Every structure is written in structure tokens, then in C-alpha cells.
Amino acid sequence: MRIGVFDSGIGGLTVLKELITKYPGNEYIYFGDTLNVPYGTKSKEELLLLSDKIIKFLISQKVELIIIACGTISSNIYEEIKDKYDVKIIDILSPTINYLNKNNYHKVGIMATPMTAKSLFFEKRIKGAISIGCPKLVPLIESGKINSVETDEAINEYLTKLKGADIIVLGCTHYPVLIPIIQKYSTIPLINMGKCLVDTLNVNNLSTLQIKLYFSKLTPEIITNVTNIIKENKEIIERKL
């Protein structure tokens, strides 16, 4: 099966990593819009325009399924785009929402982009949910500053706002790369949305593994980050839309 995955940058690779682990017999076409990252501060109009270009590109690659590996797109415009194209499109947030609603958490903390937090997507669907915008994290990750004093300080700042939570959702697909750092400052269990998605997804392993990773802008930092997340053989291609 040929599966398309997209995100504002490298964050969706954490979702792709989970897909490859569970379904290694597929072709994966990934698009990371590193030229326009971050999406978390963009308007809905901008998000619609950017996602339209990416989805049309993935369709041109003859994908049979598209996964929106972006919390901001999923929380703000999924309803507008899910039935717009002649290909099945699924979002990253719904499996996590379903998981949380099956469990009795009194306080669910969500680390998210500013747009996802502003949308109150989780609060409208989960009792006891509290979202906080974390605007510093995606730029730090994309610029290769995962292991830096700035990142530690930002994480500590955001976690302070979620004290007392039973569980913390990493509400942006960039954030799983920060799990080791987050766990230095908090013992609260974490939810990786990519794992929630693959646990509910049912696709067939029909071929050998093939991975093509497209980015609208490539830098040495991006290539290093990509290589650290996706260990398997892959093509890395710069492609402006």
C-alpha cells in the first residue's frame, strides 16, 4: 500500500516511525513543509492553502491513504478537508481523543501548538482537558537545538503549567523527540499520538518497505534530524510546491 504522510516539518516523522515499525511492508511518501514551519501560529486560511498544495502533491504520487501527522491541521481544518479529495484522509488527533475518553483521567494536560490550544479542540471533546500553547518548542526542534539550555528551560516552563495532571498528551507530533528531556522534569505519563494512531489503523503489508521523504526546504540541521528519527533506508528530496 502506498501511504502519504504530511506535517509542517520533521514532526510527522515520529508518526511515520511508528507506522514503519508496525507496517514495514508499505511504500511511504512523506512531505514536511519545512519552508513554512511552524504551522502553529498561522491562520486557518493559511493552513487551508498550504495543506491543499501538499495533499494535491501526495495525490500526484498516487497514494491510497493520507495521514495528517500535524496536530494544528487536524484540530483546525480537518473537517473542511477530510471529504474534499478523492482519497481517504485521516487525522492524527481522533485516535488519541478516543483513547482518552475510554479512560477515567481527571485532569488531562495537553502540550500543543498555539493554534491547537486556541482551538480548544481537546477541551471540547475531553472532560478535564487543559491545553497549553508551547510556541518555543517547534522552532527549537527544527533548528537542531533539541539538546540545549533553551529547550530545557522551555520544557520546564510549560510543564509547570501542567502540574497535577494525570497524563500529558504530546499534542504536536514534533514533541515525541523531546520525551527524554520531558522525563527529566516530570514523572507524569506521556501519550504519543503516533502510537495511538497505529494502534487503531488497519492496513495491509503488501510490498517491500520504500520511503521517500520530501521537504520544501533542506538544511544540514533538517537532514541530521531526519536521520536521527528514521533509521531505515530512505530518499531525502527537496521539493518546493
CA 117 to chain centre: 15
Question: Model confidence at 206, in pLDDT bands (50, 70, 90)?
Answer: confident
Return the beta strands (E) in 41-107 as ranges. Answer: 65-68, 88-91
Q: Is the pLDDT of residue 205 over 90?
A: no
Residue of 97, 110, 172, 193 marked active site:
172
CATH annotation of 2-92+196-238: 3.40.50.1860
The yes/no answer on whether domain 94-192 falls in CATH 3.40.50.12280 is: no
Concerning whether 172 is annotated as a catalytic residue, the answer is: yes
Q: What is the mean pLDDT of residues 201-221?
A: 91
pLDDT of residue 189: 97
Cβ atoms of 70 and 11 within 8 Å: the answer is yes
Q: Where are the domains of the chain?
A: 2-92+196-238, 94-192
Q: Is the pLDDT of residue 15 over 80?
A: yes
Q: Quick one: how many helices (H) and strands (E) in the chain?
A: 11, 10
Query: What would the pLDDT profile of 53-64 be if each residue is shown by its tens digit?
Result: 999 999 999 999
Q: Is the pLDDT of residue 207 over 90?
A: no
Return the beta strands (E) in the chain as ranges. Answer: 2-7, 27-32, 65-68, 88-91, 108-112, 129-133, 167-170, 190-192, 210-215, 235-238
Residue of 20, 70, 134, 140 marked active site:
70
* Cα–Cα distance, 7 to 69 (Å, whole number): 5
Residue 91: phi and psi, rounded to 5, are -100, 165
Query: What would the pLDDT profile of 77-86 be if each residue is shown by its tens digit?
Result: 999 999 999 9
Q: What is the mean pLDDT of residues 206-231?
A: 93
Concerning whether 196 is annotated as a catalytic residue, the answer is: no
